[in-house]
């Protein structure tokens, strides 16, 4: 894994509640931020944020959004988690150094053998895929943040 600094960060799902908070936090620390959103969004962002559109079903749309980025933060909705491998593949193809997976909430590995397994299967699949890729590519790393359950109000 490289020790280069991360300066350019793409946030997928930047228009959601968690995504907006992440964008604001990154801007406050002077990161160069790209918001990656659906073409249908009417969300607005501060002038310092570059905006790219992409389609979860089209890997190439993410490749072009991720090219030149140091990190990708995935804050996609639970309903879209089955598509997170599309984001991961695009990030690897674009040579993004760090992928931060959509794990905000509880740790999926803690629930692996519980009755709640079905609720976290997509997260576990993404995490297993990230582990495999980080073993295959020495320049690639990943992070997941288990912040504990929270509810959007």
Q: Which of 4-13, 78-87, 106-115 has the lowest mean pLDDT?
A: 106-115
The strand order across the sheet containing 32-37 reads 50-53, 32-37, 8-12, 71-74, 98-101, 141-144
Question: pLDDT digits over 29-68, tens only?
Answer: 999 999 999 888 889 999 999 999 998 888 889 999 999 9
- pLDDT tens, residue by residue, 92-138: 999 999 999 877 655 555 555 666 666 667 777 888 888 899 999 99
pTM: 0.83
105 vs 110, 122, 146, 149, CA distance in Å?
12, 14, 5, 5
Which domains are assigned to the chain? 8-144 (3.40.50.720)
Q: Cα–Cα distance between 27 and 34 in angstroms, integer?
A: 10
pLDDT score recorded for residue 114: 60
Which pair of tokens denotes residue 116?
Answer: 């709640």
Q: Over 70: is that where the pLDDT of 20 sits?
A: yes
Give start and end residues of each alpha helix (H) in the chain.
17-28, 59-66, 84-93, 117-136
Q: What is the pLDDT of residues 31-42, one digit of tens each?
A: 999 999 988 888
């Amino acid at each position: 894994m490289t020790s280069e600094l991360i300066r350019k960060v793409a946030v997928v799902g930047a228009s959601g509640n968690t995504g907006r908070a992440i964008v604001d936090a990154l801007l406050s620390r002077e990161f160069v931020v790209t918001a990656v959103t659906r073409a249908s969004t009417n969300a607005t962002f501060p002038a310092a944020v570059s905006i790219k559109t992409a389609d979860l079903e089209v890997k190439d749309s993410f490749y072009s959004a991720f090219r030149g980025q140091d990190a990708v933060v995935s804050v996609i909705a639970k309903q879209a988690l089955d598509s997170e491998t599309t984001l991961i593949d695009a990030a690897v193809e674009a040579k993004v150094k760090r992928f931060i997976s959509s794990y905000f909430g509880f740790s999926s590995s803690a629930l692996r053998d519980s009755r709640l397994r079905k609720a976290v299967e997509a997260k576990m699949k993404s995490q297993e895929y990230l582990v495999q890729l980080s073993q295959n590519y020495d320049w690639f790393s990943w992070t997941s943040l288990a912040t504990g359950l929270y509810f959007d109000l």
